[in-house]
A = this chain, B = another copy of it.
Amino acid sequence: MRRLHVLYRPLKLLFPGGRAKPWGRLASCRWASFTTDTTLPDVNSFVARSKTCGELRSAHIGQEVTLCGWIQYKRHEQFVVLRDFQGLTQILIPQVEVSAIENCFCSFLMQTGDIEVKAETAEVLNYCKKLPFEIKDFTKKTEALRMQYRYLDIRSIQMQYNLRLRSQVVMRMREYLCNCYDFVDVETPTLFKKTPGGAKEFVVPSREAGKFYSLPQSPQQFKQLLMVGGLDRYFQVARCYRDEGSKPDRQPEFTQIDIEMSFVDQDGILALIEGMLQYSWPKEKGLIKIPFPSITYDEALSTYGTDKPDTRFGMKIIDVSHILRNVDVAFLQNSLSEPHGTVKAICIPQGAKLQFKDLESLNELSIFFWEFGMKSPLGKFLSEEQKSELIRTVEANMEDVVLLAAGQHKKVCSALGKLRLKSAELLEAKGLLLRDPSAFHFLWVVEFPLFLPKEKNPEELEAAHHPFTAPHPLDEHLLYSDPSQVRGQHYDLVLNGNEIGGGSIRIHNAKQQRFILEKVLKEDTELLFHLLEALESGAPPHGGIALGLDRLICLLVGGSSIRDVIAFPKSFRGRDLMSNAPDYVDPQELEPYHVQVTWPLTEAKARTN
């Protein structure tokens, strides 16, 4: 490695005090840039530095530069390696400036290795106390500790990458919507009113006694009202709120890319979103092909046992009822004689690598094991012909395992769908690569049922998604006779087995909306009076979609939780571990809002003692 000297002044440095090194190991890298023009953004304007720590090359020799950054480490008492988030630069410091910093072993690949910088002046801008741990060890620490010191965790190469990539992807989406397709970015209120059936909404007490705002779960009503208002292409990167207690990997506040259009049908929305994702997808993550494949809800359930199939791998569910119909096993016979009774199978490639106990833990319905060599207890009841037809139908090879389930269609599919995912995980844990972690498989799921039986009272119906979804045009007549059979114009976008968005064509006819709310769903329409009135005021046909931004970016960067792509997330109990929010509030501060705390009995006692 050649060593060359570059003279400059003033050199600004941040020295950590004592032995602490605030920065962990970071390969020098420049974040991928997605700007539309070919010029790179200017990262050195307006600030004290004239170059970043990742920028100097032999071409700069002889120039005077100003660098700002953190001390990465000191070498041989006279070199200091300075770093920022663009990279590292070695600095030759006048002896008098060097304080006693421990020598460190250096094994970095420095892209600025062709030069080093001779400091003319150096200024210590701040000191760093001993950190609770080294940044490079951060990801090994408990998540609670990382959250408590989130401002240090953000220094990690992964968090820097995640947050910068998120910003760039969202910017590209905005360019696509605003600049390419004339969408209007409209901000809608977050202090709003309770939506019907909207449990899970945080309340915000107002200064009027007994009256509360709600923090809405989405801008659904507002975006429909904007269509009535003639803003025919709306979008918003919208903050949404949902109080789900302590569900894992949910956040009380989250962000969605919220879109609505007038005079549009389902195909229009699907094409818009495909184009947007293709346009905003980071180059380093590969190209994505459009249009995305599409599957109906019924087909998804039959083939994958779920409405959000992971299509990165096969192991599809296959109907084998016809083969086993005449097998003299009571369980099979009973299952097949039920209404919607069926026998289905999945074939696990190289499933013989799994232990019996691995699969046993999955046992929900009656499961039979089938390997070449017929180790299954079912084997003896099958004729040779039935055996070979089964093997042919499920395309089983040597070392594969076939799982069978018998029973009612939906239950069988759902059980096999779970077994399919669990088996994939088990095989991957054994080192087999089933799902390429760098692959992105998008899938539209369409033709959902419009209504579902309520879990607690299956005689009554509830909206499968929300009460504003329009019925499928072919099923409209069933609304009045057999609403449970109506398909909705709803669509979900699935990526690698995760639902990352959903939307629908909305009802724009006030009468139809009122019928569904009052007669089908038995909702109180009083809360939606303004929306019904708006639909009567010349509402255009309209539809839209919302993408879960946190989840999408999490999948994009391969994060293990959406907390990896949120700068300051809450814990799964909804706490901010850094600032200790939520926190107790002086009763006096609650007075203007006319609320008081109802202490649970045990706590109330503790407080009076």
Contact = CB atoms under 8 A, between A and B. Distances in A.
Interface of A: 12, 14, 16, 22, 33, 35-37, 41-43, 45-49, 68, 70, 84-85, 125-129, 131, 149-155, 159-160, 163-164, 166-168, 170-171, 174-175, 178-194, 199, 202-215, 221-222, 225-226, 228-233, 239, 241, 243, 245, 252-253, 255, 261-265, 268-269, 271-272, 508-509, 530, 534-541, 566-568, 570, 574, 576, 578-585, 589-591, 593-600, 603
Contacts of A580: 193, 530
A508 B126 contact: yes
A534 B151 contact: yes
A180 B45 CA distance: 10
B46 A188 contact: no
A268 B568 contact: no
**What are the 8 tightest A-B residue pairs by CB atom distance, in nearest-first order?**
A154-B229, A193-B581, A128-B538, A41-B182, A46-B268, A211-B582, A22-B538, A206-B582
Contact of A49 (B129, B166, B263): B263
Contacts of A272: 45-46
A192 B262 CA distance: 37
A151 B597 contact: no
A125 B211 contact: no
A572 to B, nearest CB: 13
Nearest to A581: B193
B204 A215 contact: yes
Contacts of A210: 584-585, 597, 599, 603
A209 B600 contact: yes
A85 B263 CA distance: 13
15 contacts: A41-B180, A43-B182, A45-B271, A47-B262, A70-B230, A126-B540, A160-B231, A186-B567, A191-B253, A193-B576, A202-B204, A208-B582, A209-B597, A210-B599, A596-B598
A185 B166 CA distance: 8
A252 B204 CA distance: 12
A568 B70 contact: no
Contacts of A12: 263
